[in-house]
Every structure is written in structure tokens, then in C-alpha cells.
A and B are shown apart, each in its own frame.
Chain A
Amino acid sequence: MQAVQLCQQALNQIDKVVIGKERQVKLALCCLLAKGHLLIEDLPGMGKTTLSHALANSLGLSYRRIQFTSDLLPADVIGVSIFNQNQHQFEFHPGPIFSQVVLADEINRASPKTQSALLEAMEEKQISVDGQSHSLPAPFFVIATQNPFHQSGTFPLPESQLDRFLMRIELGFPSKDAERTMLLNEGNEVVADLKPVMSIEEFTSLQTQVQSVAVTDKLINYLLNLVHESRNNAAFDMALSPRASKGILSAARAWAMLSGRDYVTADDIKAVFPAIAEHRLGNGKMNTSVSLSEQLMSQVEPI
């Protein structure tokens, strides 16, 4: 089956449970196709968990949820070694992180120590306990959710750790129509009942296909101009890192594939740019009147 059709099926299926959020769903899928971790930021009860669960189910990936609390310890996330008296040796008991999709719910409620344990695992794709390293399953994704900063009892993620997330998206309140549909549950769909639309092999082949989507010099120039503008323009406190520019290109490729094209356009970049750039440009708060990424894009001409 063709890549576009597979992706479209997955999107359609998720859209049935996350109603009226087509764009965010597409971005989330795009993020996973680009092998990036996703940060969803919103108020409680907006469907963050539903989205991540639906994603994992539709893509046929194993799914675990970790509820982050202020007393959560690193061992609770990655697992512990326990002495087995029968065999007279330590035995590693893997934590909930050993799963293909990990939902780190309300990540900013946990202590920085626990946060960083998770973030290390995200970067290394493996964990070490007692000098022994244990590989995490592949593919491995972390979908973290966090409450906005103004909510009490939060430990905000530092910039260096925000940079580990390819995208940060927000769901926002649903429209009236969407909410009506949700309330009446006309679709009659429950997240747990979602069937995978593709095998893990198909998913990983999609990931490799993303990397072969064509880009031209013109496009790279546009991307470079954007990134350099963020570095040279004094209006932006924080510049975009090379990791960010690599991420933008991968995500734009994935977006192009989701749109059924085998080449990337400036529109693809603009589509994924706010989700990737906004949290890196130092705009901690969402929903502010001025979007830094929009400001940046208006400084650079696509042609």
C-alpha cells in the first residue's frame, strides 16, 4: 500500500477520537515520522492523553503511560535491579519506559532529577542501571504532556531539555461543532478499540521513505535564511540550533509525504515551523499575542 494512503488511514482513524484537531493530529504523526519526540502542552482535559494513545494504537506500537508526580523517582521510570536470592545475583526489572510509545503525562510536575532521567533515555535510546546498559525498544517515542506554567506545583523544563523535543504542540479548546460531536459520541469510537492500520515494519519503512523526499537548493536556502535570521536578528533572544534546523527539514519532509508529495516546498516548512521553533526561540508561554516563529517567518521571503 502506498505511503500516503497508509498515513491517511492512520490520520482518519485518529481524527475519529480526537475530534476537530486535524492539524494537530497531522503534526503529531509528522513528528513521529520524523523520528522526533513530541511535547503536548495544554490545560488538563483537552485530550492530550487520548491523542497519544490513539497514535500508538493506530501505528501498532506498544504503549505505556507514566503519570509524573512530584514524588516520582527515576527508578520508577527506568526500572530497578533487585537481588534474586535464588540465583544470587541482581536482576533488572524494566520500568514503564521500556515501551515503543511512552506517554509522560504532566512531565513538569516531576522533579528535575526524574525529568532528566527520562530525557537522557530519549536522547540515548538506552538506559544504564548499575553499570549495565539496556537498549530501549525501537522505534522509541516519548510523548510528553505538560500543563502551562501558571499552574501550581510545576517544575518547568529548562531550554536544553526543551530542545530534545522535536515539536511542541497545543490542542486548544474544540470548536462548538466538534464538541457537540464529541458529546453525542456520534463516531462511537473508543481509543482502546482502535486497530492498528499498519505493521511496525510498514511504519519504519515510512520513516526511511521520509528521508528520501527531495529537497532543492532553493528550499535549503530558505531554511538557512530562516535559521540565520533567528541568529542575527536581535529581536530573538534565543537562536535556532543546528539540531533545530535538522529537525525542521525532517519534519518538513514528513509533512510533504503526508501531503502526498515527493518534494518539499516552502509551505511544508512554514507548516511545521511554529511547532518546532516556537519553544526553541524562548517563548515559554503559549497563547501569547506575538508568536516569535510567525515573526521570524515574516522576516524571510520564500522566493
Chain B
Amino acid sequence: MITPNVSQCLRWLVPAQLIVQMYQAIEHTWIILAFYLVCLCLKWNQLQSGQKAFKRLYRILGLVIALVIVAGLGQSYGYLTAVISLLAFTQSLKLLEFESYRDLFGITCVQLFLIAAGLLLHVELIHAVVLTISLLLSVIALLQVQLVKLKAKKLSIYASKLMLLSLPLALLLFFAMPRLPPLWQMPKSQNAQTGLSETMKFGDIANLSRSNKLAFRATFDNLPPEQKDLYWRVLVHDIYDGTEWRSSLTLKKKPLSAYLMSRLSWQEQGAYWDYAILAEPSYQPWMFALDIAKVSGIKAKMAADFTWYADKPINQALEYRVRSYYEAPVQQRPDNWFYQINLQLPEQGNEKTRQWAQQLKTQFTEPELLIEHVLEQFAEQAYYYTLSPPRLLDDQIDEFLFKTKQGFCAHYASSFVFVMRAAGIPARVVAGYQGGEWNPKGEYFSVYQYDAHAWAEVYLPEQGWVRFDPTAYVAPERIEQDLSSALGDEEEFLANNRFALVKYKDNWLVNEVRLGFANINYQWSKWIVNYNQNSRSDFWKDLLRFDWWKLLKWLSLAIFVFFSYLIYRGLKHSQRADINKPYQQALSILAASGVKREPGMTARELLPQLKALSDESHTVWLKICQLIDRHEYQTESSKIQRKIYSHMTKQVQELREACKNGRKD
């Protein structure tokens, strides 16, 4: 049994563990990291002072403390946190009692689990790289125990080579393993849900705009549309209760949805955009699409308001194709239901706005003129577009329209819809994203959470549903360029995210680097993370057609075969070299029978002793001696050497028998 040099091992192990512990600490709770650091300090102290291993009592005490904390975390953060912290605590406690090779093995196993756990939630390239480094470090720690004298540099080269050797297998698994849908629902951690939520309050979208997390990417087949046409619809809110907007048409209410669908009249006609969306995990079912869209490539349903829902929440990067008919008009045969939903307002409240709407209604007979007038009001009066509007109390719309006049897109959209409804024009709020950043290197749009937006749709009898964006009248820069240009000088874009590179995009170099990295990440998600069932079946179709992608796959297959051959040869070689193994077995059998072997003795030098033991064992041992001589000292082909090896194992068995018989005699 090897006893590892603990402190030498820890040099590699600690950074590896810190990485994974850090991931879980950021994802779940800092208690995880704190616990690890405490254990590390204790271990360090033990090593420095040269004390012996911790007593059983202390170890049990540590376990009890850990379990209590886990139980507490489970109560307050949910059971995913509890499970992960249990793993992390296991690692910390195992570190505390790290003495033997066996312990190291356990530590490494837990480490692998934690690395996998890190990859569950962080699929970007950079995380893959960091976690691979952690993996490499733990492999080095394992190797260090075996190769004590090796220097750090050689060791890391050796470990890297080992990991490269495992690459062919990884590639095979990646390409050939079926991607089964998970048998159980992956529990999501509490702050994992990102993006728009089912309801919309005034401040929600402004809050979202402080995040520079990626929402999705879009790649257009042909010429991409202009910025101002990029209204990514996600959710339609048509019920207002005085404080927040909700959707009536979720898929849950199937009969209603089906009924409304039947009353729609629209055709897939006119000009369209074809594009692919690569959505980041949002843990929500709703999808992103422009205008009237048709989604293909995954299982999804369209609601009567033309928003799309996936069958399952988007828990991992998801790619789907969309065709958007941006000119197709949507007619609807209005009925009671329709008016009831799209003219719905709370019973009371916001009286001032209602009065204004009534006044407008008498002033303008044509709804188009009324809409134009309201929008002009936004443009002409002192309305101000800001990320941090003053807090609104009761009668939010009144207060906003006539008093504070400072708001974000949600304020404008919901006030506009409120006015429309009060004036008897059917209208609804649409939440989604507007715009996106064009990446010229990868030729795609990146849409971030700060692109979140809300606008309005109004139903005009002749034209059907028409999009109006009141924000465009208040802050046209928001629509034509992006959020950072729309915000005034005194307001900082992504104020609480000091290191977001997007803030420095006026600097040419920073911007180039940022876009370059974004593109690498995009390719990574597109080809690696999102390599799913669909692209896999493409692989087999590709075998019939030639293209470079196919070539790449074949090349990796060839590399795999080559490496497998190398491994095969290596195994054969080691088998040939390893006659020592059965020889040592034989020696231990002899030792049990009382044959004394002095150090440095050859097999033949033991013959006289075996003669004294029994004739049978003497004969067998003579055969073993001949086999060893042939194997070690005669230049034989590897085939014969393997035969000799198998003979050897047989002879060792016979020796065992012979010695047994000898003892009975």
C-alpha cells in the first residue's frame, strides 16, 4: 500500500478543490466554501504541527456539524442545495482525514461529481476550461502519489497526456451515446430562473436590464432585419389588476385557447425571415420569435396570442428554427370574449387617466388618430426614459402619466394600453426583447437580458393586431440603437456590474476582443453544448454526403481508432513485461511453504530448497524457472512471450496445488 506524501499531494489538490467549491459557493451558498476553508485550515495545522490523524470522535463531530448545516440549508434553500452541499461537505471532511491512498481515491471521486455538478449549470466554454483545469489538477494529485520524485512540470505533462488519451473515448461517447431525455426532473436552484417572468410589474423589466446575461442568439439565413424591427415576442400580458400584468392565454387553459385559436384568421403568407434561435437555459417554457412565427425543430405549441411555448422548460441550451411572417395581417372575429379580455381593466383606480381617455374618445372618432395623439403626448411632454424611476404608490398609472413622468418601457407600455382600453380600443402589453447586438465575426445577433423590453399591441378593425411602441417616442435611441445609448449621461448602464466588458464597447480593442470571445462561446454552444439528438441523426445522414463537417467527424473517428490501437498495444506490451506478477505470486506461495528466499536470489537458486520440500513442487518449479528464463532472457516474438505468460499462470496454479499436497504429506 502506498502512503502518499500528504502535503505534496495537497499542493495539487487544494487548487482543484477550491475551484469546484467556489462554483458551488457562488451557485448556492457561501457556507460551502467557508466550511471547506475551515477544514483546510485544520488540516494545514495538523500537518504543520506534525500531529497524528484526527481522532474518531472529532471526525464524527465534524460529520454531525456538516449534517446539521445540510439539514438547515435544505430547509431554507431547497433540496438541490442540500444535495450539492452534502457533496461539497463530504469533500471537505474527507480532506480532513486524508492519510492514505484510499482516501485520495475517495476525494477524487467526489471531485469528479462536483465538477460534473458545476457543468450542469455552467455550459459556457470558459467554465468548461476552468473545470478541466480542476480535473487536470486532481489527476496530477493522483499521479503524484505514485510518482513521488517527478517534478511538477513533468507531472503536468504526464497528466495532460493521460487526459488526451481519454479524449477518443470522450469523443466516442459524445458522438455515439444516445441523448436520453432525463428520467427525472432536474431540480433547479432558486436563482436559476432568468429572463422574463409570467407576470410583469412596473419595475421588473428595469431590474432585468441590469443583467448582462445572455438570453439567446439568433442567426438569420439571409439578410438580417434592421434593429428597429427586432421585436422578439415572448409573452403577452392582457390582464391588469392595478399593480401587475398577467397572461390569460397560457396553455394551461386549453379549451379557451383552442376556442380563441378558432376565431383567428391569418395565413402564412407574404415575406418572411428564416432564422435559428439558440436559447440559453432560462428554466421557463416560453420561447423567442419575431412577429407571427412558426417554430420547427423542437416540440412546441403556439398560443392564440402567437407566443410560443416549449413542451418542457428550457433547462439547457436549446436550438430551434423559426420562420416569421412579418407582413401577414391577423384578423379576428371579435366576440364578447375578445372584448372582455382585451378591454379588461380593474373596477376602479386611476380615475384621472380614465377621464382623460374618455375625453380623448369624444375628441377623436378614429382610433388611429387617438393613438397618434397619445403617442405624441409621450414625445412632446417632459417624459423621461430612465432605469430608476421614482417609486409609484397607489394609482400607479395616474401618478406616472401626470406626476412623475419618469419611467422605463414597462411604464410606457402599460400606461398606453391602459389608456387605449379606457378609451374602448382593444389593446395588450407584449413583453420580450428588443434589438440585439450584431456580432460581425459570427454573423449573428446576441440578445442579452438588458435588451428586455415591453411594448403594446392594439387591435384595429381593418388591420388586425398592430404593434405600437410608446418607448420609441420617448427614447428613439433605445429602439434604433440600444439601451446604453438611450440612457442619459447621469445614469450608468449596468451600474452594479463594473466589469461588464460591454460597457467599454467604445474602446475599439476591448470591443474586438469581446466580440471575438462572444463568437467562440457561440460556436461552443452551437456545436458542443447543443449537440443533441437532431444533429446526431444528421451525422448518419452526412455519411452519405461529403462535406467538411463529415470529414472532421471521420478524422476524429480515425484519431480514436489510432489511439485505441496505441492503448491496445500498450496493454499488450505491459502484459508481456509483467511476468513478474505471476512470479511474485509463486514466490509468495513458496514463502507460505517455508522456502526462504534471500534478496537477489534467482528462481533457480531456490531449486535445492524445493528438492527438500517435495519432488512434485521441485518439478513444477523447474518448469517455472525454464519459463522465466525463456521469457526474460531468450529473444522470442511477443506472441510466444504471451504464450509463455499464460503457461506461467498455469504453472503457478500447479505450484499452489503441489505445495498444498506437500503440506498434507
Contacts and interface: CB of A to CB of B under 8 A. Distances in A.
Interface of A: 214-216, 218-219, 263-267, 270, 297-303
Nearest to B630: A263
B634 A302 contact: no
A218 B600 contact: no
B521 to A, nearest CB: 51
B241 interface: no
B633 A219 contact: yes
B175 interface: no
Nearest to A266: B602
B629 interface: yes
19 contacts: A214-B634, A215-B633, A216-B632, A216-B633, A218-B633, A264-B633, A265-B604, A265-B632, A266-B602, A267-B604, A267-B629, A298-B598, A298-B601, A300-B600, A301-B599, A302-B602, A303-B580, A303-B583, A303-B632
B629 A302 contact: no
Nearest first, the 8 closest Cβ-Cβ pairs linking A and B are A298-B600, A218-B632, A265-B633, A263-B634, A302-B602, A265-B629, A297-B600, A266-B602
Interface in B575-621: 579-580, 583, 598-605
Contacts of B628: 303
A298 B600 CA distance: 4
A302 B600 contact: yes
Interface in B325-340: none
A219 B633 CA distance: 6
Given A298-B599, A302-B602, A303-B583, 18 more contacts: A214-B633, A214-B634, A218-B632, A263-B635, A265-B604, A265-B629, A266-B632, A267-B602, A267-B605, A267-B629, A270-B602, A298-B598, A298-B600, A300-B600, A301-B599, A303-B580, A303-B628, A303-B632
Contacts of B603: 303
A216 B583 CA distance: 19
Contact of B632 (A219, A297, A298, A301): A219
Contacts of B604: 265, 267
A31 to B, nearest CB: 22
A267 B622 CA distance: 14
Contacts of A302: 600-602
Contacts of B635: 214, 216, 263
B570 to A, nearest CB: 18
A263 B633 contact: yes
Contacts of A218: 632-633
Contacts of B629: 263, 265, 267
A174 to B, nearest CB: 22
A111 B598 CA distance: 44
Nearest to A219: B633
Contacts of B602: 265-267, 270, 302-303
A265 B634 CA distance: 8
Nearest to B633: A265
Contacts of B583: 303
B323 to A, nearest CB: 69
Nearest to A216: B633
Contacts of A266: 602, 632-633
Contacts of A216: 632-635
Nearest to A214: B635
Contacts of B598: 298
Contacts of B601: 298, 302
Contacts of A303: 579-580, 583, 602-603, 628, 632
A300 B632 CA distance: 16
A265 B630 CA distance: 9
A284 B132 CA distance: 63
Given A267-B604, A267-B605, A299 B599 contact: yes
Contacts of A219: 632-633
B28 to A, nearest CB: 54
Interface string B625-648: 000110011110000000000000
A118 B417 CA distance: 122
Which of A215, A265, A267, A270 is the most central at the interface, judged by chain B CB atoms within 10 Å of its CB?
Answer: A265
B264 to A, nearest CB: 84
Contacts of A298: 598-601
Contacts of A270: 602, 605
Contacts of A264: 633
Contacts of A215: 633
Nearest to A269: B602
A203 B214 CA distance: 89
A249 to B, nearest CB: 13
Nearest to A295: B600
Contacts of B599: 298-299, 301
B99 to A, nearest CB: 30
A124 to B, nearest CB: 35
A298 B634 CA distance: 24
Contacts of A297: 600
A264 B634 CA distance: 8
A44 to B, nearest CB: 34
Contacts of B633: 214-216, 218-219, 263-266
A302 B598 CA distance: 12
Nearest to B628: A303
Contacts of B579: 303
A133 B632 CA distance: 47
Nearest to A294: B600
B630 to A, nearest CB: 8
Nearest to A218: B632
Nearest to B631: A218
Interface string B287-330: 00000000000000000000000000000000000000000000
A297 to B, nearest CB: 5
Nearest to A229: B600
Contacts of B634: 214, 216, 263
A301 B583 CA distance: 13
B636 to A, nearest CB: 9
Contacts of A301: 599-600
A267 B626 CA distance: 12
A299 B632 contact: no
B442 to A, nearest CB: 55
Nearest to B635: A214
A218 B633 CA distance: 7
A299 B598 CA distance: 10
Nearest to A297: B600
Interface string B557-586: 000000000000000000000011001000
A266 B601 CA distance: 10
A29 to B, nearest CB: 21
Nearest to B587: A303
Interface string B534-568: 00000000000000000000000000000000000
A301 B603 CA distance: 11
A227 to B, nearest CB: 14
A300 B580 CA distance: 15
Nearest to A221: B632
B19 to A, nearest CB: 42
Nearest to A270: B602
A216 to B, nearest CB: 5
A32 to B, nearest CB: 24
A139 B82 CA distance: 88
A267 to B, nearest CB: 5
Counting chain B CB atoms within 10 Å of each CB, the highest count among A215, A219, A263 belongs to A263
Contacts of A214: 633-635
A301 B602 CA distance: 8
A300 B635 CA distance: 23
A291 B628 CA distance: 28
B352 to A, nearest CB: 99
A263 B629 CA distance: 9
B573 to A, nearest CB: 13
A251 to B, nearest CB: 16
A215 B635 CA distance: 8
Nearest to B634: A263
B637 to A, nearest CB: 13
A8 B401 CA distance: 122
A303 B633 CA distance: 10
A94 to B, nearest CB: 45
